[in-house]
Structure 1
Amino acid sequence: MARPAWVENAIWWQVYPLGFVGAERDAPATGSKVQHRLPRLTAWLDYVVELGASGIALGPIFAAETHGYDTTDYFRIDPRLGDEADFEDLIAAAHSRGPRVLLDGVFNHVGRSFDRFQEVLREGPAAPSSSWFRLSWPAGKWSPGAEPDYEDFEGHHHLVALNHAEPQVRDFVVEVMKYWLARGADGWRLDAAYAVPPSFWAPVLDAVRADYPDAYFVGEFIHGDYAAAVAEGELDSVTQYELWKAVWSSLNDVNLYELSAALDRHNAFLESFAPMTFVGNHDVTRLASRLDNTALLPHAVVIFLTLGGTPSIYAGDEQAFRGVKEDRAGGDDAVRPAFPDSPAELSSLGADIYRLHQELIGVRRRHPWLHRARTRVLDLANAHVVYEAAADGHSLTVALNLADSPVSIDAPAGNRAVLASGGDVQVGGDGLELGSFAWAVLGNGGDA
């Protein structure tokens, strides 16, 4: 299956819109005034381009009950964000500057206020949409007000699971995807795709690609057989949670053998698809809060941006935002904060990490083959690693020191030019010396 060629150069800046614009926690009452907040994102588009990203991956923007993952109307922009005109203006503003736009589709489950589910509650087992859900009705004759048991999403009773064996559900998802692609979206993130039978996606995406062959589809997979899910579902990619965990965990434990094992796994995935890589997103504790030693924050970013795959930067991580996810109601709030009206209002405390992202994205832009690069570990200890990222006859060498003391390393002869570095880095005829907590990206001095 041919994947969209433009994805090779994609670097996403992921935004959780409801948090970003400071929207209310709950949906407004029916008939309330629409709040035109989506235009606030337009003020950040130049910032996205200056960062070096080439796309904006939006979190949920459709009408929902609370956090956006309880969708109630897939054909309406959430009134806390704006309306369809605001969406089309954002698309136009993004495309005029270059970035593409990825939408977040919640097609595993719906909010209880979704009209088809409300029809079921009103009309009972005879409702035309009863086959859309996995229901179990009380024994005996149904009476108005009697509510069925139903499958939900991971015990969240307000999230009603769809019946993916129902053809009408498949056709509905196709209709939703095409509707917003026709209005300028460039692809879809498929929320909780791991909870949907992989066989559901293939006919859906075949139907959508018939009209939009250049669209991109990435499934959210927290666990499972990534390669099999991509193949059976005909997805372009999935989220690489294994690598995310290995990056911060290996740095915290000063155990780069864990990272090495994860790189082997990552290489295997790259044989069949380019995973979406990340070190933060809207569902996890911020990287700057996750790391025990913030001196190693640059090391995580270096790893992330020098591996094969399609990088996704969670908005604020490039400024070293902090935030801890908690397992409670409202526990996501700290990692989904409101942003200022414009980048000019950001604190200067994140400037160094922002410039590091710019520098490493620049390296990636000059070496686009990194999208499909495999890695080979050249030197490995608990506290230091040297690996080569290579594809198409090109290579870069990455060296990391997690210790607070210097380390001397034998480095390969080919890549000797320092393309990016942090800390004290000395390249000599016999190898490489890294000072405490130092790192380096080495190339041959060319741009490709």
Structure 2
Amino acid sequence: MGYINESVIYNIYPLGFCGAPRDNDGKLVYRLDKIYDCIDHLKKMSVNVLVFNPLFESSRHGYDTIDYRKVDCRLGDNNSFKKICNTLHENGIKVILDGVFNHVGRDFFAFKDVQQNLGNSRYCNWFQNLNFGGRSPKGDPFWYEGWAGHYDLVKLNLQNDEVVNYLLDSVKFWIDEFDIDGLRLDAADCIDLEFFKKLRNVCKSEKPDFWLYGEITHGDYNRWANDNLLDSVTNYECYKGIYSSHNDHNYFEIAHSLNRQFGNGGIYRNIYTFNFVDNHDVNRISSDLKDKNHLKNVYTLMYTMPGVPSIYYGSEYGIEGKRTQFSDYELRPCLDLNNVENADYDLLNHIIKLGKVRLALDALKYGKFDNVNIMNEKLVYKRFTDNQTVFVAFNLTDHDEKIGFDTGCNAKLTDVLNDNEVIDVNGYCELSLKPYSSRILVVNDGSFKVNFDDECEVKTVTADVPTKKEKKVEKLKKVQKGRYRHFKGTEYEVLGVSTHSETGEKLVIYMSVDGKETLWARPYDMFTDVVEHNGKKINRFTLLS
């Protein structure tokens, strides 16, 4: 079945995560190097796959591609990303990139050629429905099809063999040069299925366990995920069911979806779906839930249902974010994952436990699914293989509850989510559940347990990647008002320098520019200091303007 069954996925939107300018300013800044500081955090959560939303060179948000074979300069360059990939692989973390093959940006080289040479351009047939019988909404003396009516996103003509070969060669480039392990296919429902067939053949011939999953928001998943096309799809049906069943106190909703998809006779039993509770296109789960006490149950459900779980960066801390009619930027903030404001560390610790539990239990990674007891506010289902059975029980109420179910065995249940508590059962079992809680119960002889004490080991890259000769870095001579960037990528506005009333120490006063306008104070000497980061000496803060 490939590596994905043994995986916990983490998903970042690089341009937002790194605090890149919204418009490509053409300046090369190694913002994505902040990934190095996140590896120990990822490994504590048992993350072993990292999905990068678009990082190819683009004009603005990543989905308006300029160059399919170049890392966006706002994030770094190809050499720096190659080093990142090597480091992630050294630490047991696979790399999946976002393949945006339905459309390109208006600055894409072939479209620029059409703008310059009009009907004489050799690239006229690269774009969907391009003709010279009218003007585009962008003022071009020709018409073309924009994706979903967005004319900054120019639809590619995937019936053109030259376009297809260009894209496939680009994919081979990322596999050969960066050893990537998979692709997320953006807007997969809009892409010609024959292209996916060719893409699969290329990727699987390069790496047999290469994983392809498509962004599908509706429809029959079997149309895209099968032995001829993609391996998997985004499970939007259960994404909605997970949060709304908690909001409505109606576990029947998610139980119905799970049974429809994965139960006996389920229509998606042969698809290992990509499961999520939020991403860069939808509200953060903490903003969608009416009662944040349900967060733990939400994640327990996602980690124990069939398919692979994915965490969207920052949501492990319970951060909030809603999309608006005009912008998705609140969903894609710049974050230091080791220093998140108002972090919910109780939720993080719960997710750390879930990661260890998932990877320890074959029934969760490979097992079949069956509902056992469904009630409005309580739910029990089981995951099972020939060699292991696991019951998962939920209570979404604000008080203690009991729920009974037939275990079908005379054995013991070990609750691996709650201190490896051992419970004797003889057929029918009635369990107590605390408010807003869940249990993950493994059928065994009483000796089974999951160890939560293992420490992760973060390895450094050993690959020989060429780098430019370093220049001598000197300490900042003077701090003035203006915009500065911290060496981890976050930007701040320096308001001035003050003097401590008791000690006389000079302090730099600065403010975050993420919309929250949090005030900070740092000793002057520390603010102007040089630090070592990823083997290089750099300024702790760099003046931008």
TM-score, with length taken from structure 1: 0.91
Alignment of 1:303-382 (within 5 A): 303-328=301-326, 331-340=327-336, 343=338, 345-347=339-341, 349-382=343-376
In the TM superposition, what whole-angstrom CA distance separates every residue of 1:308-353 from its partner, at most 9, and x where no partner exists?
A: 111111111111111111121xx2111111012x61x234632111
Pair 1:388-2:379 in alignment:
no
Q: Distance in 2 between matches of 1:432 and 1:38?
A: 47
Correspondence list, 1:22-33, <5 A: 22-28=19-25, 32-33=26-27
The sequence identity of aligned pairs, in percent, is 30
Q: Could you say which residue in structure 1 is the equivalent of 2:47?
A: 53
Q: Which of 199, 217, 224 does residue 229 from structure 1 map onto? A: 224
Corresponding residue for residue 168 of structure 2: 174
The structure richer in strand per residue is: 2
* Residue of structure 2 in register with 1:296 after alignment: 294
Structure 2 Cα separation of the partners of residues 439 and 299 of structure 1: 6
Residue 82 (str. 1) matches residue 76 (str. 2): yes
Q: Does 1:13 align with 2:7?
A: no
**Which residue pairs with 1:34 in the alignment?**
28
Match of 1:443 in 2: 442
- Tell me if the contact between 2:414 and 2:449 (Cα under 8 Å) persists in the aligned partners: no
- CA 1:369 to 1:179, structure 2 compared with 1: closer, same or farther past 3 Å? farther
Q: 1:146-295 alignment to 2 at 5 Å?
A: 147-182=141-176, 183-231=178-226, 234-267=229-262, 268-295=266-293
What is aligned with 2:433? 434
Q: Secondary structure at the match of 2:51?
A: strand
User: Within 1, Cα distance between the matches of 2:227 and 2:120?
Assistant: 34
CA distance, structure 2, for counterparts of residue 46 and residue 246 of structure 1: 32
Partner of 1:175, secondary structure, is helix
Q: In structure 2, what is the Cα distance between the partners aligned to 1:122 and 1:305?
A: 52
**1:387: how far off?**
0.8
Q: How many residues align?
A: 433
**How far did residue 407 of structure 1 move?**
2.5
**CA offset at residue 379 of structure 1?**
1.1
- CA–CA distance in structure 2, aligned partners of residues 227 and 408 of structure 1: 38
Paired with 1:405 and 1:350, the residues of 2 have a C-alpha distance of 22
**Aligned-CA RMSD value:** 2.2
* Matched position secondary structure for 1:359: helix
SS of the equivalent of 2:74 reads coil
Structure 2 residue 400 is the aligned partner of structure 1 residue 406:
yes
**Secondary structure, counterpart of 1:188 in structure 2:** strand
From the two aligned structures, give the one with the greater helix fraction: 1
Instruction: Kindly indicate whether residue 59 of structure 2 is the aligned counterpart of residue 62 of structure 1.
Output: no
Q: Say which SS state the counterpart of residue 417 (structure 2) adopts.
A: strand
* Alignment check: 8 A CA contact 1:426 1:432 kept: no
The one-letter code sitting in structure 2 at the alignment partner of 1:230 is: A
**In structure 2, what is the Cα distance between the partners aligned to 1:146 and 1:11?**
46
Mapped contact 2:413–2:423 kept (Cα < 8 A): no
Q: Cα gap change, 1:366/1:208 in structure 2, threshold over 3 Å: closer, same or farther?
A: closer
1:79 and 1:11 mapped to 2: Cα distance? 29
Distance (Å, rounded) in 2 between the aligned partners of 1:327 and 1:427: 54
Alignment partner of 1:420 is 2:417: yes
- AA aligned to 1:215 is F
Q: 1:409 to 1:129 in 2, by over 3 A?
A: same
Match of 2:102 among 103, 108, 115: 108
Counterpart AA for 2:347: I
5+ residue gaps, structure 1, are none
Give the superposition deviation at 1:237: 0.9
In the TM superposition, what is the alpha-carbon distance from 1:447 to its structure 2 partner? Answer: 5.9
Which protein is bigger by CA-based radius of gyration? Answer: 2
Query: Which structure 2 residue ranges, 5 or more long, are not aligned?
Result: 451-545
* Matches of 1:258 and 1:139, distance apart in 2: 50
Pick closer, same or farther for the CA change 1:375–1:208 going to 2, 3 Å: closer
SS of equivalent to 2:405: coil
CA distance in 1, matches of 2:10, 2:55: 16
> What per-residue deviation string (whole Å, max 9, x for no partner) do you get for residues 61-90 of structure 1?
111011101111111110100101110110
